[in-house]
Structure 1
Amino acid sequence: MASVKDVMTKEAVTIKPDTSVEDTAKLLLQHHFSGVPVVDDEGVLQGVVSEGDIIKRASHIQSPAVLEFLGGLIYLDSPKKYMEELKQAMSLTIGDLMKTEVITAHPDDSIEQIATKMLSKNIKRFPVVDEEGKVIGIISRRDIMKHLYQAEDL
C-alpha cells in the first residue's frame, strides 16, 4: 500500500507571512498553483492561502444591517464578521489573509486516507508536515491521479 511520502511533491513551494498579496497572486499564476503553504523562517507551517482567498479579498463587502434607535445603532448582523472581511479586504500581506486552521498530511498516511479526506473536505491539496510541523512536501489531487493511473508523463 502506497503512502503519502511515495507520491507527494517533495519540493513544495512555500511563502512567508510577510509576502505581499500581489507577489503571492503572481506566484500562483506563474506556477499554475491553486494554493500555497505559508511557513515561518524555520519552515514550520503557519497557514495556507488559496486563489479563493485572494479573489475573496477583492470582492464586495456588505456592511452589517443596523437599526438606528434613540441616537444609537443596533446591529442586526454580526459586526465581527464584517470586521474580519474588512481586515481581509485591506490586507497587504499573506499573514493577514491566510487561513491558520490547516488540514495536513503526514508522510506515512495512506493514499486512501488522504484521498478520502480530500473528497470529504473538498480540498485540493494538503501540506505534508513532519513531527515538528515543518513542511516537507505537498500532496495534491494530481499527485494521487498520477499514482493511481501510473501517468508518469503528466
Structure 2
Amino acid sequence: MVKSFQGVRMVEPKKSPATQILVKDHMSTNLVTFHPDDTIDKVLDVLTKRKISGAPVVDESGALIGIISEVDCLKEIIKGKYTNTPKFPGKVKEHMSTDVITLGQELSLFDAAQKFLELKIRRFPVLKDGVLIGQISLSDVIRAFPKLKQTTW
C-alpha cells in the first residue's frame, strides 16, 4: 500500500510479459490457402462462400509465396469486362501480391494493431520459424479488444 495525497490505495504489481495479449491468441489457424496455379474463378468462389476478403498463397511444399485478395481479383474482373468474358481464367500467380509482410506469433496485439494502422493492410500471415501457422486480420484484432479485461491493459 502507498499513502499519498489521494489517500490509501493499492498499487497493482507490474504486469509480467506472460500476461501480454499476443497475436497467437487471436489469429486464425484454420486457413484457406490458394496455389499459384489456381484460377481467379476459384478464388472468387471460395472468398465469396467463406465470406473472407483474401488468403495466403502457398507452393507445393506449403511455403508462403504471396497473398491474393479481392482487390487483386478485380484486375482479372476488369480484364474480363474488356474481353467480354464472363469467366475469369487468370491465374493466382499473375495477380497475387508477392511482397508479403508477416508477423510473428509472439507479437503483442497492440503492436499488431499499430502495424495495421501504419501499413494499411487488412491481413498479415503469421510465421513461426519461417512456416505459415496462421493469419491475423484487422477484423480479428477489432473483435479481440472488447473481450479484454481492464486489468490486461
Q: Do they superpose with TM above 0.5?
A: yes
Deviation at 1:42, TM superposition (A): 1.9
Deviation at 1:91, TM superposition (A): 6.8
Of structures 1 and 2, the one with the larger relative CO (CA 8 A, separation 6+) is 1
User: Percent identity among equivalent residues?
Assistant: 34
Q: Name 2:58's counterpart in structure 1.
A: 39
Q: Name 2:72's counterpart in structure 1.
A: 53
Deviation at 1:92, TM superposition (A): 1.9
- State the superposition RMSD in angstroms: 1.7
Q: Name 1:102's counterpart in structure 2.
A: 100
1:1-154 mapped onto 2 (5 Å cutoff): 1-59=20-78, 92-132=90-130, 134-150=131-147
TM-score normalized by the length of structure 2: 0.73
Gaps of 5+ in 1: 61-89
CA distance in 2, matches of 1:44, 1:139: 17
Amino acid at match of 1:116: Q
Q: Deviations over 1:100-137 (max 9, x none)?
A: 001111111111111111111111111111212x2111
Q: Check 1:58–1:143 CA distance in 2 against 1; reply closer, same or farther (3 A cut).
A: same
The secondary structure found in structure 1 opposite 2:135 is: strand
Higher radius of gyration, 1 or 2: 2
TM-score normalized by the length of structure 1: 0.73
Contact in 2 for aligned 1:91/1:97 (Cα 8 Å)? no
Gaps of 5+ in 2: 1-19, 80-87, 149-153
Q: Name 1:77's counterpart in structure 2.
A: none
